[in-house]
Amino acid sequence: MSSRFSVLVIDDESEILNSVEKMLKDEFNVIVSNSFDDGICKIRELKPDVVIVDLRLGEKDGRDIVKFVVGSKLNSQVIVVSAYSDIENIVECIKMGAFDFVEKPISPTRLRVSIRNAIDNLSLKRVVEKVEFSGIIFKSQKMSEVIELVKKASSTNFPVLILGESGTGKEKIAHLIHSLSRRRDKEFVKINCSAIPSELFESELFGYEKGAFTGAVYSKKGKFEIADGGTLFLDEIGDLSLEHQAKILRAVEYGEIMKVGSKDILNVDVRLVSATNKDIEKMVKEKTFREDSFFRINVITIYLPPLRERKEDIKPLALYFLEETIKSEGLPQKIFSEDALSMLEEYDFPGNIRELKNIVNRLIVISQNDVISTQDIEKVIKNKFNPFEAKIVDLLSSRKSLVRARSDFEKIYILYHLEKNNMNISKTANSLGILPNNLIRRMKKLGISH
């Protein structure tokens, strides 16, 4: 049947070729090849949809086949076959762009599932190339390398660790990985590791049974169960205590959880994406992060460089945020002068993209004309004009009673932290050292809308 997908199997052992051919021939058009050179010829001539290659091909190296397929313009997927002991080489292949690996001895079901997924992904690859990463704006070489790695990571199930300073876009990338992956129709569940109170940790993550503790009137699903089949995003993972690391590690390693108050084991299938702005390798050395947890969460590492190291992204991002805010707020059109844009490029952005976004928003508000000028930029950046500082100065010179001044100060202080944390309640509560519920109550009392 010509509509069947073609699979090329390259292995130097003829028994393996025979048995794999038998496993697959009912479902796919199978082509076999018993050497590296013949394999390359067949890839060129026959353009198979999927290539299955053994990492060890006599004298030759299966990794070079991966490189060849990925580097060619062919729209084929590669699956690597190998013993698990070869994990380093396998990870290298995945980083290069291999779709999956199947452990030896080969399980027929596992191999067929992997091929079907690879075929699904062929069409996904075409979609990805067309949409060009909506919402992720970049021009720099560094970011296009990041995006390439994101594409590769998305087609696997390996855990991903996203590193980068605050505001570099880690959460945005985590979402992208999920939305490009085969799990995109299932849930993306975020856990902010720094915001879960220790006593609620297990019930939040693993759920609880009715009657597990006072107040547990219903049973409740935990984040792991909600994320089943989807992606679990562990944000700020560097803030996780050693004890909680161990609990998460166990759940991820065995794919099993137990609800609080239950003795039944639940199987969960989650893909783990973690992020932190901390130097986690240093934490491992200092023993504040468990080494085994680190290896578990960190199969693929994606590092987001700070904005000052990819200055080419500043202009396109500034233009994007300008347009976005003007549209969403229904404001009259404004543009940047050329000089103003160049001035932005010279700034260091310690708060990275989040800071750039806030600066553009402030510029829209303070600029008096249709054209945002270098003077406007100076006001906002060079003098580090800060509306909160201005408000505190006003408060000092007011003649309010202590009670009124105290509540005014509280309002300014909360607003300041809200802005710093992108209006995120749990992060703000965390930086203020209070619980999210308490923050919401105070905001209501002070008339701060969210």
Ligand X SMILES: Nc1ncnc2c1ncn2[C@@H]1O[C@H](COP(=O)(O)OP(=O)(O)OP(=O)(O)O)[C@@H](O)[C@H]1O
- Residues within the interface to ligand X (CB under 6 A): 136-138, 164, 166-172, 277, 317, 353-354, 357
What gap in Å lies between CA 347 and CA 307, rounded to an integer? Answer: 10
**Strands laid side by side in the 300-304 sheet:** 188-192, 231-235, 271-276, 160-164, 300-304
End-to-end CA distance of the chain: 59
| The entry of Mg ion, ligand X, none that residue 150 binds, CB within 5 to 8 Å by partner kind | none
For ligand X, the closer of residues 293 and 421 by Cβ is: 421
Instruction: Tell me the closest approach of the beta carbon of residue 114 to ligand X, in angstroms.
Output: 31
CB of 33 to ligand X, least distance (A): 42
Residue 354 contact partner, candidates Mg ion, ligand X, none, CB within 5 to 8 A by sort of partner: ligand X
Output 56 or 354, the one with its CB closest to ligand X: 354
Residue closer to ligand X by CB (options 356, 377) is 356
Going from the C-alpha of 326 to that of each of 333, 334, 338, 419, the distances in angstroms are 7, 8, 19, 19
Q: Give the Cα separation of 272 and 240 in Å (integer).
A: 15
Q: What b-and-e string marks burial along 137-172, b requiring 16 or more CB atoms within 10 Å of the CB?
A: bbebeebeebbebbbbbbbbbbbbbbbbbebbbbbe
Q: What is the dihedral of CA 297, 301, 307, 308, to 10 degrees?
A: 120
Candidates 48, 36, 54; CA nearest to 102 is 54
Q: Compute the least distance from the CB of residue 222 to Mg ion, in Å.
A: 21
Q: What's the CA gap between 295 and 79, in Å, rounded?
A: 23
Token pair of 36 as six digits: 């590296």
Q: How many residues does the chain have?
A: 450
Output the smallest distance, CB 275 to ligand X, in A.
6
Which of Mg ion, ligand X, none sits in contact with 409, Cβ below 5 to 8 A by type?
A: none
Smaller CB separation from Mg ion, 48 or 238: 238
Closer to ligand X by Cβ: residue 277 or 288? 277
Point out which residues pair with 102 in neighbouring strands: 81
Q: Are 429 and 414 in contact (CB under 8 A)?
A: no
Residue nearest Mg ion, CB atom distance: 171
> Which is closer to ligand X, CB of 236 or CB of 376?
236
* Closest approach of ligand X to the CB of residue 115, in Å: 34
Shortest separation between residue 171's beta carbon and Mg ion, angstroms: 4
Q: Taking the complex as a whole, how short is the minimal distance between the CB of residue 328 and ligand X, in angstroms?
A: 13
Q: CA-based angle 146:294:110, to the nearest 5?
A: 75
Least distance (Å) between residue 111 CB and ligand X: 37
Q: How far is the CB of 363 from ligand X (least distance, A)?
A: 16
Binding region for Mg ion (CB under 5 A): 170-171
Tell me how far, at minimum, the Cβ of 78 lies from Mg ion, in Å: 33
| Nearer CB in complex with ligand X: 277/407 | 277
Please, which residue, 171 or 202, has the CB nearer to Mg ion?
A: 171
- Cβ distance to Mg ion smaller for residue 86 or 171: 171
Pick the closer one to ligand X by CB: 186 or 357.
357
- The binder of 420, among Mg ion, ligand X, none, by C-beta within 5 to 8 A per type, is none
Gap between the Cα atoms of 332 and 118, Å rounded? 48
DSSP 107: P
Report residue 165 as tokens: 């300073």
Q: Is-cis flag, bond preceding 306, omega within 30?
A: no
244 binds, among ligand X, Mg ion, none (CB under 5 to 8 A by kind): none
Calculate helix-pair angle for 402-420, 436-446, nearest 10 degrees: 120
Question: Which residue is nearest to ligand X, using beta carbons?
Answer: 169
Exposed, middle or buried, 338 (CB in 10 Å: 0-12/13-18/19+)?
Answer: exposed
What residue 204 binds from ligand X, Mg ion, none (CB within 5 to 8 A, per partner kind)?
A: none
Selection from ligand X, Mg ion, none that 448 binds (CB < 5 to 8 A by kind) is none
